[in-house]
Structure 1
């Protein structure tokens, strides 16, 4: 019998179902300042015109029950709203989840924290990881991954990523936004009233697919953006390291919804660039679909879609890359800025992005969404830069199931780093 990849089956099944619409965003409200007593409306409210605070400052929090983390693990958990920095250097506001096991940490030192970025969830407001972990919407698949960390005694600081506040759209695959948000939620996690995380706690970074790209961006930015954090390791799987290579493979495929998410997400981060004015009626509808659906709904809507069908001039990807913004910057240059492994080096190398800790990268043998050549090339760039890199590509899994298939290795890799064990790497 021929093996049909798990995610392919899920996409084809989703395409046959009615897709839910957007959940209305809550009305804006002033954040609560008295402990973790914020309402949901306050957590996800639109950001103020002037953001008060520095990157990593906790703005609001509320206690949460993470019903989509299996195992009945005793923990305390909170939704959080915090300050971060966007790709242009401006302050922004991001949301996420912090969870701390109630079991005592017994492996020496302060309890460590895993900075976690989920894989693709979609761009509708209801898709935020913090909402899904709390059971307000269910279209995610990584609660079990978090359970493994929590069972080991690790705290979790899981960012939603930029763009899940009222009136926003997720800036999908924008590297600096993702990396900053991932590092800043660790800073914010240590400010929770009633929390127990300390400033000297070690930090590990983890994510798969979109989260894998975010994990490597967090690793690349850690030394310059958050040098006070004791980051000891990063794990990243299913990484779309070069968006141009990935986009070419996605266009017209079963998984074109990921490309739609990326195009709309890039536009959200770079609104000055030509985009919405290029759209035909199908394109305008497509933008609305991206902004309202979660993962499987987006994949169903864009099944087999080609980017050429959404603009009045039938623009190809290459023609879109050639378009210039008001300062002469092209879309192609912006997309290239998101490429991972550029100007990286080991600690003390003088590279723009110094990484002084081990990195674990991985992919499934049956990977069918992210081209093997870009995942392999990202690993090769890390090795060439002298970064301690462990690489594994022998999981007998396709894209989605690799996330689960590698979860034990990821947990063990970070736990070893927290315990101070050396990583030999296999470059």
Structure 2
């Protein structure tokens, strides 16, 4: 599974190989083609709304399926520059359950196109771990799957994903038809989804202080993007397509600080254009035979202080804020993709500062195997918190 390398191999090579400014270059960031469905179009007066306010709601027609209802909820959120953006989440509500617990499940997106978001991709197999929501539904819980990378599908932008996740929960609880306003709330996710989850938990006390959370569970968290970027090599890598996509996603979110397109050669600009609307499988396939050497006009690994600052701003290891919600972190000790020591450092700091933390170590090296091993623990952790049981403290 080195292929999924990438939930945040995130910033890896590309974002940092290509940061020295080239005054002759004029290429600007390339954003995704907007979803043509009018539901996904932000209103002109979006800025008058507060984060978490509902923009619009619709129920999807599932034909003969009657045991769940599926909804799209559009809401106001905020990007990394503090500007208003519109987010969308997909909500699955089990029939016949009164006040079900609500789990915001941050799925693996690993993509650049709007068609790859959970709001569009749950039925086309692009949302790799959508199966992870089956067990919560079977327990009678409602599930929300936010498009947490925002309207520009800014893959790799961790802080953004945390803010969108929090706003999505507030919006879901404000929709009367869903009946979830008094539901206990859990946040869950693995790898890139774990990054969004962990950031949401850490940001909640300051970004969404009135939002009541019951539990958070994040696994395989890419907790130090700078460390990951420094640890990656220059040669070919099976996850290069997603690494390149992460660089493009970060440029979309930080166009003035990471002008990566300006550092691409002609082939690199072609590849950027070729992949800018595509999803995980396409990116993996077409990136497998390419590398940064072929696409970059310049290579200045980690020379640009602003680029390194962006990585640190999106690395949980360097974020001083603390969650107050009971939090489960689980990590493979020998994970070849997301370094164990970075997550262990976060857990140790949380413990020292009195965060109700449970840190579970799995003696596994394969990234996605740890996801399968840890998800049952996460759901049981939620079950206990929803029942009001004391949080086990394990550092």
TM-score calculated relative to the size of structure 2 = 0.84
Unaligned runs of 5+ in 1: 10-21, 28-40, 323-329, 345-352
Matching of residue 332 in structure 1 with residue 332 in structure 2: no
SS at match of 1:189: helix
Matching of residue 117 in structure 1 with residue 101 in structure 2: no
Structure 1 residue 241: Cα displacement: 0.5
2:160 to 162, 168, 177: 177
Q: What's the C-alpha RMSD, in Å, of the aligned pairs?
A: 2.7
Q: How many residues align?
A: 366
Structure 1 residue 262: Cα displacement: 2.0
1:56 to 52, 56, 81: 52
Matching of residue 421 in structure 1 with residue 389 in structure 2: yes
Counterpart residue number, 1:103: 96
Mapping of residues 5-404 of structure 1, within 5 Å: 5=1, 25-27=34-36, 41-45=37-41, 48=44, 51-64=47-60, 74-105=67-98, 110-133=99-122, 135=123, 137-164=124-151, 169-198=152-181, 200-251=182-233, 252=235, 253-273=237-257, 274-303=259-288, 305-313=290-298, 315-319=299-303, 321-322=304-305, 330-344=306-320, 353-364=321-332, 367-394=335-362, 396=364, 398-404=366-372
Relative to structure 1, is the Cα distance of residues 24 and 341 closer, same or farther in structure 2, using a 3 angstrom cutoff?
closer
Separation in structure 2 between the aligned mates of residue 317 and residue 46 of structure 1, nearest angstrom: 38
Separation in structure 2 between the aligned mates of residue 184 and residue 190 of structure 1, nearest angstrom: 10
TM-score calculated relative to the size of structure 1 = 0.78
Contact 1:307 / 1:317 at 8 angstroms: preserved in 2? no
Relative to structure 1, is the Cα distance of residues 309 and 114 closer, same or farther in structure 2, using a 3 angstrom cutoff?
same
Write out per-residue CA displacement over residues 103-132 of structure 1, whole angstroms, 9 at most, x where no aligned residue: 324xxxx43211221123311121011112
Relative to structure 1, is the Cα distance of residues 365 and 179 closer, same or farther in structure 2, using a 3 angstrom cutoff?
same
Structure 1 residue 66: Cα displacement: 7.3
SS at match of 1:403: helix
Separation in structure 2 between the aligned mates of residue 259 and residue 228 of structure 1, nearest angstrom: 36
Separation in structure 1 between the aligned mates of residue 2 and residue 263 of structure 2, nearest angstrom: 35
Q: Could you tell which deviates more after superposition, 258-267 or 303-312?
A: 303-312
Relative to structure 1, is the Cα distance of residues 47 and 372 closer, same or farther in structure 2, using a 3 angstrom cutoff?
farther
Counterpart residue number, 2:22: none
Structure 1 residue 88: Cα displacement: 1.6
SS at match of 1:234: strand
Q: Could you tell which deviates more after superposition, 332-341 or 389-398?
A: 389-398
Separation in structure 1 between the aligned mates of residue 394 and residue 344 of structure 2, nearest angstrom: 13
Relative to structure 1, is the Cα distance of residues 415 and 249 closer, same or farther in structure 2, using a 3 angstrom cutoff?
same
Relative to structure 1, is the Cα distance of residues 303 and 380 closer, same or farther in structure 2, using a 3 angstrom cutoff?
farther
Contact 1:202 / 1:229 at 8 angstroms: preserved in 2? no
SS at match of 1:194: helix
Asked which structure has the greater RCO (Cα within 8 Å, sep 6+), the reply is 2
Relative to structure 1, is the Cα distance of residues 257 and 380 closer, same or farther in structure 2, using a 3 angstrom cutoff?
farther
Contact 1:73 / 1:151 at 8 angstroms: preserved in 2? no
Structure 1 residue 397: Cα displacement: 6.6
Contact 1:93 / 1:162 at 8 angstroms: preserved in 2? no
SS at match of 1:355: coil
Structure 1 residue 65: Cα displacement: 5.7
